A and B are shown apart, each in its own frame.
Chain A
Amino acid sequence: MTILIGYVPTPVGEAALEAGLTEAAARGDDVVIVNSPRRGATVDADLVDEAAAAKLVARAAEAGVNARVDHTTHGADVVETFDGLVASTGARLIVIGLRRRSPVGKALLGSDAQRILLDAGVPVLAVKPTA
């Protein structure tokens, strides 16, 4: 089976990757590392380039996991992208990192993580970065 790992090059994303790889190695799953840039922006700081993506795949291989990196863009709703990938890969789990957000911050800027937690069609493993 497959699991999706939502990855951004931050401590939060790293935590998600670690947890996701451990889970996948334990159950023998394949991994799709979802590094989805926001559509329309010229520069997306969360996007990883090809060299970094290759390193991620290599890291997964070291852990004994077969992985690939997916760069499907997302629009205003990131859940759509994840749902689409769940449908196309038959993933059974989504692993994402959780970041601390104040209520005001969530009201103004929204929280992709919260949306995925609430709206995704498959179980979600939310990982907090080790302090």
Chain B
Amino acid sequence: MDVNAFLDGFGLVTEPQNLLYCLIGVLVGMLIGVLPGLGPAATIAILLPITYSIDPVSAIIMLAGIYYGAQYGGTITSVLLRLPGEASSVVTVFDGFALAKQGKAGTALGIAAIGSFVGATVSILGLTLVAPLIAGWALSFGDPEYAALALLGVLLVATIGNGNKLKAMLAAAFGLLLATIGRDSFSGAERFTFGSLQLTEGIDFVVVAMGLFGVGEILYNLEERHGKPHVPAAVANIWPSRKDLKQSSGAIGRGSLIGFVLGVLPGGGAVMSSLAAYATEKRISKHPERFGRGAIEGVAAPETANNAAATSSFIPLLTLGIPANASMAMLFGALLILGISPGPQLVEERPDLFWGVINSMYIGNLILLVLSIPLVGIFVRILRVRPAILAPITALITILGVYTINNSTFDIFVMIVFGLIGYLMKKVGFEPGPMVLAFVLGSIVEDGVRRSMLIFDGDPTGFFTRPISGTILAAFVLVALWPAAKAALARRKAATVAAAPAERDDADTPTR
């Protein structure tokens, strides 16, 4: 690891301008984590036009701050209102709200903040050490490896993410197809442009992202969702006791590791790691019946894990140029806008950006630790504002924002079209996330495949004979067939269980 570059990164981060953008980013992140409706991916999408007007490093620092800041914000509503602000805070609801009912809301929030900080910091340390290694190793990747890796990434997001797997894969395939619109870089032929001059350059990623995530979410939220008003639990005691800290130290440690490992997996990320960490704590606890009734580990573990995962999910993006989830896909697009191509060469070509972003996370998490508790009261007060008032503000930011990119109303219309597509997709049960991800990676996959075919002189088995790409594709096939295999196994298990009901009273050993 280049220690000089690492230290230079800190110098960059502590510049007042970057500190300010870091602060703005994490505050906005916490805010949207608290507010129902928009998530970090949608917010980053909506704020993408900002990247055109500010310094690249500042822009990425801010957008990154939004992502991991949102993980802190989601906890507040989980504990105080029994309403998960983010999907990764759903598990915190069980023990967090139970603690709040016992008058210990402050303890829960405090432990969540501490755990989040520790988890994130452990993850950043891991990121600092591991990322340059992976990037160095990946420099030896050729086109076949790239194509295979990008394809695997798309598939993992489609299958591990929530929602029906087949539909997610369909959405992803559609995204791949969308990426082919425009002039083919290899042959110069125009594909799917239908004679339109505007489409010759392909569809602008920012417009697609703002439409699918921004406008789509806004329209979706307009529809009546009968949320009941809640009474927030009072936050009386602020800080957890030493006993609480000691009791949760194990959970925090384990949660950090679980989060770090699962966060790197595309499609895994914060949600999966919070569930896994909670389940692990429950399984190894000597008194598992405490969970769900106010066990402090039940708050510490998932909150630590989701922040650790949010941080480690930067690794695939920064080292391989493969976004691990929708928010990372937005950052990928932001980097493209700034003229930076993400990939293993990022460490060497733009060490200021690489280390600037990573080091900003240390500071960002420190800011979040310090601010998250004092700001709880303010956030609860902000929640009193009716969403109906915030909606037009968000809508205007989006629509005026997309105009400012190219001063073009055509962009607005394209965004509206994709907003409609995004809304309809959600109505019919498709996730827009895999589609955006595949759209972002589409040209990488296609270029990689075509160049590989030229290398292999037309022989597709070349993918499998090369060791690395072969392994990656084997993993691809495994992941693709896993759901079907699991379903078949489950059906066979159900058949044997039905055939021998008397044996069910015996200890049920989990099959995994």
Binding site for B on A (CB under 8 A): 37-45, 47-49, 73
Residues of the A chain whose Cβ atoms lie less than 8 Å from the Cβ of B83: 42
Please state if A44 and B388 are interface contacts (CB–CB under 8 Å).
no
Please state if A41 and B386 are interface contacts (CB–CB under 8 Å).
yes
Residues of the A chain whose Cβ atoms lie less than 8 Å from the Cβ of B229: 37-44, 47, 73
In angstroms, how far is the closest chain B Cβ from the Cβ of A77? Answer: 14
9 A-B pairs with least C-beta separation: A37-B229, A44-B229, A43-B383, A49-B231, A40-B386, A42-B383, A41-B386, A47-B231, A43-B384
Please state if A44 and B387 are interface contacts (CB–CB under 8 Å).
no
Evaluate whether A40 and B383 lie within 8 angstroms (CB atoms) in the complex, with A48-B231, A73-B229 already known.
no
Please state if B386 and A45 are interface contacts (CB–CB under 8 Å).
no
In angstroms, how far is the closest chain A Cβ from the Cβ of B289? Answer: 25
Does B230 have its Cβ within 8 Å of any Cβ on chain A? yes
Within 8 A of A (CB), among B328-351: none
Please state if A44 and B36 are interface contacts (CB–CB under 8 Å).
no
Closest to B230 in A: A43
Chain B CB within 10 Å, residue with most, of A42, A43, A45: A42
Q: A41-B387, A42-B35 are known contacts; what are 4 more A-B pairs with Cβ within 8 Å?
A: A40-B227, A41-B386, A42-B227, A43-B230
Question: Whole-angstrom distance between the alpha carbons of A73 and B227 in the complex?
Answer: 11
**Could you list some 24 contacts between A and B, CB below 8 A?**
A37-B229, A38-B229, A38-B386, A39-B229, A40-B386, A41-B229, A41-B384, A41-B385, A41-B386, A41-B387, A42-B35, A42-B77, A42-B229, A42-B383, A43-B81, A43-B229, A43-B383, A43-B384, A45-B384, A47-B229, A47-B230, A48-B231, A73-B228, A73-B229
Residues of the B chain whose Cβ atoms lie less than 8 Å from the Cβ of A43: 81, 229-232, 380, 383-384
Question: Whole-angstrom distance between the alpha carbons of A41 and B387 in the complex?
Answer: 7
Residues of the B chain whose Cβ atoms lie less than 8 Å from the Cβ of A73: 228-229
Question: Whole-angstrom distance between the alpha carbons of A61 and B77 in the complex?
Answer: 35
Q: Which secondary structure characterizes the binding site on chain B?
A: loop
Number of interface residues of B (CB under 8 A): 18
Closest to B77 in A: A42
Evaluate whether A40 and B81 lie within 8 angstroms (CB atoms) in the complex, with A47-B230, A47-B231 already known.
no
Q: Which secondary structure characterizes the binding site on chain A?
A: loop
In angstroms, how far is the closest chain A Cβ from the Cβ of B37? Answer: 10
Question: Whole-angstrom distance between the alpha carbons of A48 and B231 in the complex?
Answer: 7
In angstroms, how far is the closest chain B Cβ from the Cβ of A15? Answer: 21
Within 8 A of A (CB), among B177-235: 227-232
Question: Whole-angstrom distance between the alpha carbons of A45 and B81 in the complex?
Answer: 12
Residues of the A chain whose Cβ atoms lie less than 8 Å from the Cβ of B385: 41
Question: Whole-angstrom distance between the alpha carbons of A47 and B380 in the complex?
Answer: 14
Among B77, B232, B388, which residue has its beta carbon within 8 angstroms of that of A40?
B388
Question: Whole-angstrom distance between the alpha carbons of A38 and B384 in the complex?
Answer: 10
Residues of the B chain whose Cβ atoms lie less than 8 Å from the Cβ of A41: 229, 383-387
In angstroms, how far is the closest chain A Cβ from the Cβ of B384? Answer: 5
Among A42, A47, A48, A49, which residue has its beta carbon within 8 angstroms of that of B387?
A42
Within 8 A of A (CB), among B128-147: none
Question: Whole-angstrom distance between the alpha carbons of A111 and B101 in the complex?
Answer: 34
In angstroms, how far is the closest chain A Cβ from the Cβ of B386? Answer: 5
Question: Whole-angstrom distance between the alpha carbons of A77 and B278 in the complex?
Answer: 45
Residues of the A chain whose Cβ atoms lie less than 8 Å from the Cβ of B227: 40, 42
Question: Whole-angstrom distance between the alpha carbons of A15 and B167 in the complex?
Answer: 58
Residues of the A chain whose Cβ atoms lie less than 8 Å from the Cβ of B230: 42-44, 47
Among A39, A44, A48, A49, which residue has its beta carbon within 8 angstroms of that of B384?
A44
Residues of the A chain whose Cβ atoms lie less than 8 Å from the Cβ of B387: 40-42
Closest to A52 in B: B231
Residues of the B chain whose Cβ atoms lie less than 8 Å from the Cβ of A48: 231
Residues of the A chain whose Cβ atoms lie less than 8 Å from the Cβ of B35: 42
Residues of the A chain whose Cβ atoms lie less than 8 Å from the Cβ of B383: 41-43
In angstroms, how far is the closest chain A Cβ from the Cβ of B380? Answer: 6
In angstroms, how far is the closest chain B Cβ from the Cβ of A39? Answer: 8
In angstroms, how far is the closest chain B Cβ from the Cβ of A111? Answer: 18
Residues of the B chain whose Cβ atoms lie less than 8 Å from the Cβ of A47: 229-231
In angstroms, how far is the closest chain A Cβ from the Cβ of B319? Answer: 39
Residues of the A chain whose Cβ atoms lie less than 8 Å from the Cβ of B386: 38, 40-41
In angstroms, how far is the closest chain A Cβ from the Cβ of B377? Answer: 11
Chain B CB within 10 Å, residue with most, of A40, A43, A44, A47: A43
Per-position binary interface string of chain B over residues 384-417, scored 1 when its CB falls under 8 Å from any chain A CB and 0 otherwise: 1111100000000000000000000000000000
Question: Whole-angstrom distance between the alpha carbons of A39 and B36 in the complex?
Answer: 15
Closest to A40 in B: B386
Question: Whole-angstrom distance between the alpha carbons of A49 and B232 in the complex?
Answer: 9
In angstroms, how far is the closest chain B Cβ from the Cβ of A110? Answer: 14
Residues of the A chain whose Cβ atoms lie less than 8 Å from the Cβ of B388: 40
Question: Whole-angstrom distance between the alpha carbons of A42 and B81 in the complex?
Answer: 9
In angstroms, how far is the closest chain B Cβ from the Cβ of A118? Answer: 24
Question: Whole-angstrom distance between the alpha carbons of A42 and B232 in the complex?
Answer: 9
Residues of the B chain whose Cβ atoms lie less than 8 Å from the Cβ of A42: 35-36, 77, 81, 83, 227, 229-230, 383-384, 387
Question: Whole-angstrom distance between the alpha carbons of A12 and B385 in the complex?
Answer: 22
In angstroms, how far is the closest chain B Cβ from the Cβ of A33? Answer: 15
In angstroms, how far is the closest chain B Cβ from the Cβ of A102? Answer: 22
Per-position binary interface string of chain B over residues 21-41, scored 1 when its CB falls under 8 Å from any chain A CB and 0 otherwise: 000000000000001100000
Chain B CB within 10 Å, residue with most, of A37, A41, A44, A45: A41
